[in-house]
Amino acid sequence: MDQKTPTYGGYSNLIVVTEHFVCLIPKNLPLDGAAPLLCAGTTTYSALRRYNVIKDTQIGIIGLGGLGHIALKLAVAMGAHVTVIALSESQRNDAIRLGAKGFIVSNDQETLNKAEGTLNFIIDTVPVSHNVSALLQLLAFEGVFCMIGLSSKPIEIAPIDFVMKRLKIWGSLISGMREMQEMLNFCSQHEITCDIELIEATPIMIKTAFERILKGDVKYRFVLDMKNAFK
């Protein structure tokens, strides 16, 4: 890029901000692996903290993508017993590698039936339409189903799906600055970063990355390397 063209937002090389809106990234966290923590990390951390996850809390995480994999790492670090619910058996090995104690394929009705009533808290990270009703059966009495995957499609849930066990269904999004710093400090303490693919910030690489995202072909976040973008 030439030196005369102004750059803005994430493409800026200098920025002036109010101190309140700045977080300190601990030195033991690499910047590339820490970058997605400021979105996916704080979104999942906030949901886990809101539920007050403690040792041996039985948690289900639906989806093992950008949000799901970091939710799994954070929940394991908090001492939770985590079961990953995913669409494909091919994700089992990654789930176990990242610390999951259980794995369920979401369309395997037999396994879903066996796991009925075993979870206290479920985080749903899936951003597309799916059968939420079938997954509510996994919750125990007064369990909580938290949605953080942003789908624009309506979901179908019958009252009987949640009334009989007094289930709570709520949503959660990104946190405030104080909780974001708390999350970074927690990740520093437990040496947690996002699994990423670092790519050069060139038009070709960015276009390829977008195409791969649409295919679900990334583990688990792309991070743009801006170092050479302004030369």
Are 171 and 129 found together in one domain? yes
pLDDT of residue 105: 96
**Using CA atoms, how far apart are residues 132 and 111, in angstroms rounded to an integer?**
16
Are 200 and 171 found together in one domain? no
Are 220 and 123 found together in one domain? no
Q: Give 122's strand partners.
A: 60, 145
Are 199 and 86 found together in one domain? no
**87-132 residue pLDDT tens:** 999 999 999 999 999 999 999 999 999 999 999 999 999 998 899 9
Are 153 and 209 found together in one domain? no
pLDDT of residue 227: 78
**Using CA atoms, how far apart are residues 61 and 148, in angstroms rounded to an integer?**
11
pLDDT of residue 153: 87
**Using CA atoms, how far apart are residues 159 and 152, in angstroms rounded to an integer?**
21
Question: Which residue has 């990234």 as its token pair?
Answer: 25
Are 214 and 142 found together in one domain? no
Instruction: Establish if 105 belongs to a structural domain.
Output: yes
Kindly tell me if the per-residue pLDDT of 1 is higher than 60: no
pLDDT of residue 230: 62
Higher pLDDT pick, 145 / 1: 145
Instruction: Establish if 9 belongs to a structural domain.
Output: no
**137-176 residue pLDDT tens:** 999 999 999 999 988 888 889 999 999 999 999 999 999 9
Are 139 and 214 found together in one domain? no
Exposed e or buried b per residue across 93-112, where buried means at least 16 C-beta atoms within 10 angstroms of its C-beta: ebbeebbbebbbbbeeeeeb
Look at the chain and report how many structural domains it folds into. Answer: 2
Instruction: Establish if 230 belongs to a structural domain.
Output: yes
pLDDT of residue 46: 97
Are 151 and 47 found together in one domain? yes
**Using CA atoms, how far apart are residues 174 and 80, in angstroms rounded to an integer?**
21
Q: What is the mean pLDDT of the chain?
A: 92
CA distances from 75 to 50, 71, 105, 108, 144 (A): 12, 6, 20, 24, 15
**Using CA atoms, how far apart are residues 114 and 67, in angstroms rounded to an integer?**
26
**59-74 residue pLDDT tens:** 999 999 999 999 999 9
The helix-helix angle for 177-190 and 40-51 (nearest 10°) equals 90
Task: For the chain, give the percent of residues with pLDDT over 90.
Answer: 79
Are 165 and 218 found together in one domain? no
**Using CA atoms, how far apart are residues 198 and 86, in angstroms rounded to an integer?**
25
Are 64 and 131 found together in one domain? yes
Are 81 and 171 found together in one domain? yes
Q: Which long-range contacts does 156-163 make (Cβ < 8 Å, 24+ apart)?
A: 156/132, 157/132, 157/133, 158/133, 161/133, 161/136, 161/137, 162/136
The pLDDT of 7-35, averaged and rounded, is 87
pLDDT of residue 165: 95
Question: Which CATH number characterizes residue 88's domain?
Answer: 3.40.50.720
Higher pLDDT pick, 9 / 63: 63
Domain that holds residue 130: 36-177
The pLDDT of 219-231, averaged and rounded, is 83
Are 149 and 77 found together in one domain? yes
Instruction: Establish if 27 belongs to a structural domain.
Output: no
184 CB contacts (<8 Å, ≥6 apart)? 23, 24, 25, 26, 29, 34, 37, 41
pLDDT of residue 231: 63
205's tokens: 């690489």
Instruction: Establish if 199 belongs to a structural domain.
Output: yes
pLDDT of residue 3: 66
